[in-house]
Structure 1
């Protein structure tokens, strides 16, 4: 959630952020009213509690003949205190619910608008050109014996697949390259749970507008994660961190699950939009003052991967209305997909400032001894979808694919993947 002090002191800033996102501006007024009611309830409870404490001292010091009447008064006062306590609890709950309707404050410079209002920051690399009709990634994958959508559908339904042979090896090579890069950059590797409690999913901001994208297991009251960001954010929930020696950086390797609700008819061919995939996710806990610089570092790691894989790509500054509720700024890195004649998102990195940390109770202690929420950031360093751009970019006329040089050490030196039929 956002800082309640910011809501009170600068509600117009919060309203502008909501407006830029296309979110409810009225939610700000509702939260202010709930905050006022909460503080009034706290004052009433504390006043009655102080009165109760003072009355208790009177009872203890009163002569025997006066005690009976004073004890009777104390019982009535006790009932008032209990009522005021319940009013405060109810007001707290209403305020918390009202605050959930306010999304993270967008950072200055984030473009307003929706999905199509992004700003292109740069385009990098030459788009591949072919002197033959290029095949799409699924056709290439079938020729190589790398992707089997037919049997994936037979076993699990639409948008499922098998990676086999060189397809499975390529994904593992890509993930291991990303893991090695993360280790070089000082990230601690974690293999994370893919089932999490509701409070962790809620804390990261994923149970809002896109709740229908998430698989839920009602018998266990657990959610399947669509990114290890969720588990990585929850890793330090309700903890006070020591950031005296710098940020805490983690690289989470996990299988991810998404229902893809609302994407009916979109990207039904191949492995661009599927229900299950693997991903290596970077996650950082740092101080709010260092968050924007850390965001640029995460983007730099992603761009280095793109360049070393020989992919043409662009970086976009995502518009406010296309941000998740937790993100204050998000950069997408989109690779050129030749057969679609378009850039498609392969990875993104988000600065969530203190939004998730406030929800999850993650703090650090300053030099003055006081604690305050940390900033959290995330960014993908490799995922299954990257195979789409790799296969299409590096294809040859005979259906073979040149293996990017950085992946060859993970494939026993293999430099070309050749069709099996």
Structure 2
């Protein structure tokens, strides 16, 4: 949530960053509600002062034996006016808060200005895409031929955009989860097993609500939502708390299934596992002091990259421009893995610094050790990484001409020593 005082005092800068984000946010409407709110508060304060003075005069008149009927009538009228204004104030504040919850975050000054993903500069590239001596197949063809992926049965069980992983496909998913968690815990993250269902306040705290309600799954008879990412419960672990400066920074990691409707993506990536409604992900979350958050963003991104380096998967890192950046982010790096079947890089992780945008929504602060007023923390999150996309990247990058798939060395211990997935009829090495 943006600081309303900052918006009020920096109106033209706010207009500028909203334009840079291609946002149609109704800033003038927000300012109008804010002005009306302040007008009402001033009038109510003035009326209450008059009522207090009138009450004092009524008391004096009664002590002198005078009849304060007219004055008491005036006081009742003032009281009625205060009631009307307070009712209007409640309605205005509800509209104002609703708008603030929909206002996107302000980009950091280092974020490039651009209209869409075509304006995202490449920060670095790691690894060389493999040169195949045959035409590489897409992961769904390889996976179905190996008997480790099933799409038609998943549709019968649920609907489109679901997948069943079977045999060594399911084992590979489990191996990736364990590998990622072990790697991140070795690098100082605390593993958490959070709820997969959270309430409305929790979803609102990280910015999923109200803006992205159509992309979420909600339980019909409860105030519970299926999480779209472990970012939601992890970041909200300290909602409403005042931490001590000595506790910061906090590093959390978690594996969870994730659930998204992908409501705005129909017609895109309809085949395979790139864009599905249920997927596995290992998430990284940091909570830190404001002055440390951009150093922590670089470290968080490096942690996500270490997964792909360890697996030998070529990737690149891009910095999202203002027009492509997510709603709650001040700065985002996307990590994109190479997919041979498409001949291009595709997103496998987003690492973002949200500054105090989420902290204001959650009211998460810390107390400086030198004293002074509690300050809002900064929050960061990143995929560390999307398990399904990593699995399909392995299938595509390590496929062989005979249809088998090599297992990266780092995963062999987690696969019970299996080094290659081959068609079931041939056995597995």
Same fold (TM over 0.5): yes
**CA RMSD after TM alignment:** 2.1
For the structure 1 residues 160 and 75, does the alpha-carbon distance in structure 2 shift closer, same or farther, using more than 3 Å as the test?
Answer: same
Asked if the contact 2:248/2:287 (under 8 Å) is kept, the reply is no
Asked if the contact 1:115/1:318 (under 8 Å) is kept, the reply is yes
Asked if the contact 2:61/2:68 (under 8 Å) is kept, the reply is no
In the alignment, does 2:137 pair up with 1:135?
Answer: yes
1:7-406 matched pairs, under 5 angstroms: 7-24=7-24, 27-60=26-59, 62-64=61-63, 65-66=65-66, 69=69, 71-111=72-112, 112-207=114-209, 210-366=212-368, 367-382=370-385, 383-406=387-410
Asked if the contact 1:196/1:231 (under 8 Å) is kept, the reply is yes
Asked if the contact 2:367/2:373 (under 8 Å) is kept, the reply is yes
Q: CA deviation at 1:398?
A: 2.1
Asked if the contact 1:41/1:91 (under 8 Å) is kept, the reply is no
Q: What is the distance in 2 between the residues matched to 1:47 and 1:153?
A: 65
Q: What is the distance in 1 between the residues matched to 2:190 and 2:95?
A: 39
Q: CA deviation at 1:178?
A: 1.3
Structure 1: where are the runs of 5+ without partners?
none
Q: What is the distance in 2 between the residues matched to 1:67 and 1:199?
A: 53
Structure 2: where are the runs of 5+ without partners?
none
Q: What is the distance in 2 between the residues matched to 1:332 and 1:142?
A: 29
Q: What is the distance in 2 between the residues matched to 1:215 and 1:194?
A: 11
Give the TM-score of the pair, scaled to structure 2.
0.92
Q: What is the distance in 2 between the residues matched to 1:101 and 1:381?
A: 27
Q: What is the distance in 2 between the residues matched to 1:17 and 1:191?
A: 37
Q: What is the distance in 1 between the residues matched to 2:62 and 2:324?
A: 71
Asked if the contact 2:181/2:254 (under 8 Å) is kept, the reply is no
| Local SS of the residue matching 1:339 | coil
Bigger shift: residues 41-50 or 114-123:
41-50
Q: What is the distance in 2 between the residues matched to 1:279 and 1:316?
A: 20
Q: What is the distance in 2 between the residues matched to 1:191 and 1:166?
A: 25
Q: What is the distance in 1 between the residues matched to 2:153 and 2:330?
A: 41
Matched residues, number? 420
For the structure 1 residues 76 and 186, does the alpha-carbon distance in structure 2 shift closer, same or farther, using more than 3 Å as the test?
Answer: same
Asked if the contact 1:144/1:166 (under 8 Å) is kept, the reply is no
Q: CA deviation at 1:3?
A: 1.3
Residues 195-253 of structure 1 show CA distances to partners (whole Å, capped at 9, x for unaligned) of 22223323322235543222233432432221111222332222222232421221122
Q: What is the distance in 2 between the residues matched to 1:66 and 1:386?
A: 86
Q: What is the distance in 1 between the residues matched to 2:244 and 2:417?
A: 43
| Local SS of the residue matching 1:274 | coil
Q: 1:418 aligns with which of 416, 422, 428?
A: 422
For the structure 1 residues 245 and 233, does the alpha-carbon distance in structure 2 shift closer, same or farther, using more than 3 Å as the test?
Answer: closer
Give the TM-score of the pair, scaled to structure 1.
0.93
Asked if the contact 2:116/2:321 (under 8 Å) is kept, the reply is yes
Q: What is the distance in 2 between the residues matched to 1:141 and 1:296?
A: 35
For the structure 1 residues 238 and 66, does the alpha-carbon distance in structure 2 shift closer, same or farther, using more than 3 Å as the test?
Answer: farther
Q: What is the distance in 2 between the residues matched to 1:309 and 1:42?
A: 60
Residues 384-420 of structure 1 show CA distances to partners (whole Å, capped at 9, x for unaligned) of 2211111111122222222111112212232222221
Q: What is the distance in 1 between the residues matched to 2:186 and 2:363?
A: 30
Q: What is the distance in 2 between the residues matched to 1:101 and 1:162?
A: 36
Asked if the contact 1:203/1:359 (under 8 Å) is kept, the reply is yes
Q: What is the distance in 1 between the residues matched to 2:106 and 2:214?
A: 24
Asked if the contact 1:34/1:91 (under 8 Å) is kept, the reply is yes
| Local SS of the residue matching 2:382 | strand
